[in-house]
Amino acid sequence: MATTCSAKKNIQGHPCFGGNHHKNGRMHLAVAPRCNIKCGYCSRRHDCANESRPGVTSRLLTPLEAIAKVREVMASEIMGPIIKVIGIAGPGDPLANEETFETFRLVGEEFPHLIKCMSTNGLLLPEKIDLLNELGLHSLTVTLNALDAQVGGRIYSHINYHGQKYTGAEAARILIANQLQGLKKAAEFGMTIKVNTVLIPGVNDAEVPAIAEKVKELGAFVMNVMPLIPQADFAGVTPPSPEMLESVRTANERIIGQFKHCRQCRADAVGLIGQDMQFAKASCSGN
C-alpha cells in the first residue's frame, strides 16, 4: 500500500487529487458509453454544449478518435503545456467498456509521460484492477455513496452484473462489496485513490463519516464530497446548502484529506478545472 509521503509525491501534476489546478489541466476522453448500474441521481439524456456535469459529452469517441484528439491537444501551443492527465470518466462506466482499455493502451504507447486516470462506480473493479495496473493506471476515483446496503438500495435502482439484474439492497450489497475489494487491491498496487461521495440530504448524509473511515483504512488518499445535482429520481430532493457541504467536508478532514475544487466535470472536459475549452456544438435535447 502506498505511504502518505509517496501518495503526496504521486499527486504532483494531477489537478483533481490536490495538485496545482491553476496550472495543470486534464483531458477527459469520452470513449465509454455503456453503464452497468442505475444511480438515482444520474441523467445522461442531455447532450448540451453549455451544460457541465458528469455523464455529458458532445460526442462519443472511438479509441482511434480519442488518440487523434490527444495528439491535437498536445500539439497545441496553448493547451499542450498544461495537460498533465488523460482521464476516462464516461459518459457510462469505463470498466463496462472495452474501449477504455484500448484507449489507455494507445495513450501509454504514444504519450507515456501523461498521467492515466479513471473514474468508476467500482462494480467491476476487483476483476479489472490487474489489467488497469498492467496499463499503467496512476490515479483511480471510485464513487462510493453508502456502506449500508439499505441506504445504497435507495440510491441505486439496479445493477447489471455478469448478465444478471439485481435491484434494491441486494444490488447495493454486491456493488459495495466490490467497491471496497477493488479499492483495497488498487491501494496494494500503489495507485493514488480518490473516493467521490455524492451528498444526498436525508439519504446518505449520516453515512459520510463511516465512508471516510473505511476508505482511509483501505488506502484511499483523498475524498471528494460532492453536492447532489437534483435530477432523475432525485429531481425533487433539495441539494445540500453550501454551509452543509462545508460542514461535512470540515468534519471529514479530521479523518481523510478533502478535495474541494471539484466542478463535477463533463465526460469530455479539457483544460484547467473551471476553464475548459469550448465544447463541440451539440443540441440541448431533452431539456
Does 52 fall in a domain? Answer: yes
Does 181 fall in a domain? Answer: yes
Q: What is the pLDDT of residue 71?
A: 93
Per-residue pLDDT of the chain (287 residues; tens, 9 = 90+): 433 434 444 544 454 444 444 456 778 899 999 999 999 988 765 444 444 444 455 678 999 999 999 999 888 777 767 888 899 988 899 999 999 999 999 999 999 999 999 999 999 999 999 999 999 999 999 999 999 999 999 999 999 999 999 999 999 999 999 999 999 999 999 999 999 999 999 999 999 999 999 999 999 999 999 999 898 889 999 999 999 999 999 999 999 999 766 545 555 666 555 444 544 433 344 33
Does 62 fall in a domain? Answer: yes
Radius of gyration of the chain (CA): 18
- For residue 239, give its domain range: 4-274
Does 43 fall in a domain? Answer: yes
Q: Residue 224 sits in a domain of what CATH number?
A: 3.20.20.70
- The backbone region for 162, taken as left when phi is positive above 0, alpha when psi lies in -120 to 50, beta otherwise, is left
Q: What is the pLDDT of residue 67?
A: 96
Does 280 fall in a domain? Answer: no
Does 25 fall in a domain? Answer: yes
Distance from CA of residue 68 to its chain's centroid?
A: 23
Does 287 fall in a domain? Answer: no
Cell numbers for 24:
495543470
Q: What is the pLDDT of residue 266?
A: 53
CA–CA gap between residue 38 and residue 97 (Å, rounded)? 16
* Total domain count, the chain: 1
Does 178 fall in a domain? Answer: yes
